[in-house]
């Protein structure tokens, strides 16, 4: 169908809830939300809009399939570009869609460029913005996600948070308290819903043509994910990260599903020789279920991802976060997470400790119980009902 025909078709759904996804970490957050919305009879129907920020099969379609997300009603197909162009493209392309749809609200999740772009357009049109995973702050404005978080929260009418510190961050930024609702973590809803279906790490390695014995050895294995600009966009930082991973691989084998951004940087900076190591298994981006299986079986996870800090806490698997800050402090205070930056000695010592004693155990944080999306659905139904014009208001 052409875009204008698609928009016209979508336009018949006035009053719908427009659910927006763009990039990989959005999908596991939106899947439980859409399931919960479907199950809440007081809510209108939903329209799923994919901005197309992520478009590779492995980064997008495979995850829709794994998570049971419906095929998007619309795909804006913005693709990759600079931040300015990508954000602007989403804004330009979502505008006529919102005009045609006239949704009851838009629901945006997380902190990617698509999140901010849609929030900005909706807010100026008077369409209520609902932000799921609001209030997280790294206090590091060099991270593009931090800029997206701060601005999206300023534009939002309803803000659902995953941990209690988020409300303090929002209060400091002047967001009215009555907009903020602590509901728990929808990412963990997905994890708990799907964990029993995850294939074993050995099967995932065998299917990828890698040595499955890595997952069967008594010493265990580490899982690595790295894609933040601070670690992979600069040749010196990337070379340093690769040297650290080589140190770790001398202690235990590593499985590394590589993000396309990281793969592109390794090629561009000609660092392939540093990444090639018989004890480092490089895999393409994995499906959601495969990734869960790998994380759950890992002895240690090294990452710069936000979501994986939370998933490892929920799985009680030690996590070493290769960043200097985190917007998810509860994973440090209560979970299994340690911030290690690119401190080579610290990382080697932490891995040794994990091999010797199992590392940090932690506990699952408050309301990370698999029910966050249901809480959102119930609250949003009440919130929308209160906004509907009542007969008395309509009568002059």
Nearest to 59 by CA among 243, 246, 261: 261
Backbone angles phi, psi at 245, to 5 degrees: -65, -30
Strand ranges (E), 80-157: 105-109, 129-132
Residue indicated by tokens 């964990």: 195
Q: Does 327 bind ligand UD1 (CB under 6 A)?
A: no
Nearer to ligand UD1, 29 or 227 (CB): 227
Nearer to ligand UD1, 60 or 313 (CB): 60
Which run of H or E residues covers position 349?
A: helix 344-357
Cβ-Cβ contacts under 8 Å for 14 (sequence gap 6 or more):
101, 102, 103
Pick the binder of ligand UD1 from 65, 261, 364, 378 (CB under 6 A). 261
Nearest to 198 by CA among 287, 65, 319: 287
CB 25, min distance to ligand UD1, A? 5
Q: Does 26 bind ligand UD1 (CB under 6 A)?
A: no
Residues 336-355 that bind ligand UD1 (CB under 6 A): none
Nearest to 151 by CA among 179, 185, 117, 181: 117
Q: Does 29 bind ligand UD1 (CB under 6 A)?
A: no
Structure tokens at 312: 């490892």
Structure tokens at 364: 């699952």
Nearer to ligand UD1, 113 or 249 (CB): 113
Q: Does 144 bind ligand UD1 (CB under 6 A)?
A: yes
CB 138, min distance to ligand UD1, A? 11
Pick the binder of ligand UD1 from 10, 21, 23, 292 (CB under 6 A). 23
- Single out the segment in contact with ligand UD1 by CB under 6 A; choices: 51-59, 97-105, 201-209, 345-353: 51-59
Nearer to ligand UD1, 70 or 79 (CB): 79
Q: List C-alpha distances in Å: 206 to 209, 224, 288.
A: 5, 18, 17
Instruction: Write the interaction track for ligand UD1 spanning residues 87-126; mark x where CB under 6 A is met and - where it is not.
Output: ------------------------xxx-------------
Backbone angles phi, psi at 114, to 5 degrees: -65, -35
Pick the binder of ligand UD1 from 192, 264, 271, 381 (CB under 6 A). 264
Return the bridge partners of 169, or none.
none
Nearer to ligand UD1, 320 or 351 (CB): 320
Query: Is the backbone of residue 319 left (phi > 0), alpha (psi -120 to 50) or beta?
Result: beta
Q: Does 145 bind ligand UD1 (CB under 6 A)?
A: yes
Q: Catalytic residue numbers?
A: 227
Positions that interact with ligand UD1 (CB under 6 A): 23-25, 53-56, 59-60, 80, 111-113, 144-145, 227, 259-261, 264
């Amino acid at each position: 169908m052409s875009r204008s025909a698609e928009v016209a078709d979508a336009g018949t759904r006035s009053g719908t809830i427009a659910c927006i996804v763009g990039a990989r970490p959005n999908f596991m957050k939106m899947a439980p939300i859409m399931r919960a919305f479907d199950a809440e009879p007081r809510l209108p129907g939903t329209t799923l809009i994919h901005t197309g920020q992520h478009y590779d099969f492995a980064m997008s379609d495979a995850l829709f399939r794994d998570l049971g997300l419906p095929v998007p009603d619309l795909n804006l197909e913005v693709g990759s570009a600079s931040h300015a162009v990508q954000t602007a493209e989403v804004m330009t392309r979502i505008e006529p869609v919102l005009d045609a749809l006239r949704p009851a609200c838009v629901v945006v999740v997380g902190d990617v460029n698509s999140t901010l772009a849609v929030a900005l357009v909706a807010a100026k049109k008077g369409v209520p913005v609902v932000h799921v995973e609001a209030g997280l702050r790294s206090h590091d404005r060099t991270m593009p996600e931090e800029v997206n978080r701060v601005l999206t929260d300023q534009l939002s009418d309803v803000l659902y948070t995953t941990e209690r510190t988020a409300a303090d961050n929002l209060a400091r930024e002047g967001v009215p308290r009555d907009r903020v609702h602590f509901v728990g973590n929808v990412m963990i809803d997905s994890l708990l819903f799907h964990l029993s279906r995850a294939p074993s790490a050995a099967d995932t390695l065998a299917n990828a043509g890698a040595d499955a014995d890595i997952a069967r050895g008594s010493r265990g294995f580490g899982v690595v994910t790295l894609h933040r600009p601070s670690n992979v966009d600069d040749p010196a930082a990337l070379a340093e990260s690769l040297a650290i991973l080589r140190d770790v691989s001398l202690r235990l084998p590593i499985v590394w599903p590589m993000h396309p951004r990281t793969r592109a940087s390794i090629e561009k900076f000609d660092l392939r020789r540093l990444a090639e190591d018989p004890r480092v298994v490089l895999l393409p981006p994995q499906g959601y279920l495969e990734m869960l299986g790998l994380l759950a079986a890992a002895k240690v996870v090294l990452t710069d991802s936000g979501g994986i800090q939370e998933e490892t806490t929920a799985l009680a698997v030690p996590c070493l976060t290769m960043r200097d800050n985190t917007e998810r402090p509860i994973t440090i205070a209560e979970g299994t997470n340690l911030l290690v930056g690119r401190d080579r000695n610290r990382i080697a010592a932490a891995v040794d400790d994990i091999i010797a004693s199992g590392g940090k155990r932690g506990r699952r944080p408050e309301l990370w119980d698999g029910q966050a999306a249901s809480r959102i659905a119930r609250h949003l139904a009440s919130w929308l009902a209160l906004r509907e014009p009542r007969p008395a208001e309509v009568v002059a």
